[in-house]
Amino acid sequence: GAVVSQHPSRVICKSGTSVKIECRSLDFQATTMFWYRQFPKQSLMLMATSNEGSKATYEQGVEKDKFLINHASLTLSTLTVTSAHPEDSSFYICSAGGPMNTEAFFGQGTRLTVV
Amino acid sequence: EDQVTQSPEALRLQEGESSSLNCSYTVSGLRGLFWYRQDPGKGPEFLFTLYSAGEEKEKERLKATLTKKESFLHITAPKPEDSATYLCAVQARAAGNKLTFGGGTRVLVKP
């Protein structure tokens, strides 16, 4: 299957700072990528849809100014958590559609801890 | 609104004890139903996509089936390495590549 690479896998930051997470599709082009958040023992909650060359579409309840998404190329989307607070600590996962346009492949996830 | 419900939430099995996981769904025009495996601290790993009722797919000890209202993931003679959370998700025709996930089933296989 297609490969989606997410970086970093773990990050610890101080409260009030910003953190950037990268999601790359390594062997295919993805016009659309998705960002999810997952709390312990819970399923994936879609945060936003990242569209190459245009603004991201955010799910209800997700703060656009806090979770900045940039999809600058067909292989890279970034999620920046701005002014992070302890309640932003979570597992963030990205996905990209595969070449068949009906599949979805996931990155390895990023464990964010805000102290 | 698309909805996915998985049961049971957790399943403890002895090695070799076959069982089935359920995924009930409602979706406006199903494009595909996906099964993923997720290990702790990792992203979901793709297992199967099912597109139409009656379809079945197999991979090693796993077999996925689909009806118009639900999907089953059968685990035959599981091994401890099958321990993971299994996630079901649906994709609606009008939703592009967007997936709606169920809550998952945590499977623990004891030797």
Maximum mean pLDDT: which of A1-5, A31-35, A108-112, B96-100: A108-112
Which chain A residues are Cβ-neighbours of B89 within 8 angstroms?
104
Q: Tens digit of pLDDT for each residue in A90-114?
A: 999 999 876 565 678 899 999 999 9
- The minimum CA-CA distance between A92 and chain B, rounded to whole Å, is 9
pLDDT of A80 reads 97
* pLDDT of the residue at A101: 59
Q: Nearest-CA neighbor of B38 among B101, B96, B91? A: B101
Q: Three-class SS of residue A87? A: helix
Written as tens digits, the pLDDT of chain B (111 aa) is 889 999 999 999 999 999 999 999 999 899 999 999 999 999 999 999 999 999 999 999 999 999 999 999 999 999 999 999 999 999 988 877 788 999 999 999 999
- Average pLDDT (A60-65) is 94
Q: B42 by DSSP, 3-state: which?
A: coil
Are the C-beta atoms of residues A103 and A2 closer than 8 Å to each other?
yes
Distance, CA of A41 to CA of A52 (rounded, Å): 31
- Residues on chain B touching A46 (C-beta within 8 angstroms): 98-100
Is residue A107 classed exposed, middle or buried when 0-12, 13-18 and 19+ CB atoms within 10 A define those classes?
buried
How many C-beta atoms surround the C-beta of residue A28 within 10 A?
Answer: 17
**Contact residues, chain A, for B101 at CB < 8 Å:** 43-44
The verdict on A49 touching B (C-beta cutoff 8 Å) is yes
Shortest Cα–Cα distance, A109 to chain B (Å): 5
**Is there a contact between A104 and B91 if contact means CB atoms under 8 Å apart?**
yes
A102 with B97: Cβ contact below 8 A: yes
Tell which of A11, A106, A113 to mutate to test the B interface (max B CBs under 10 Å). Answer: A106
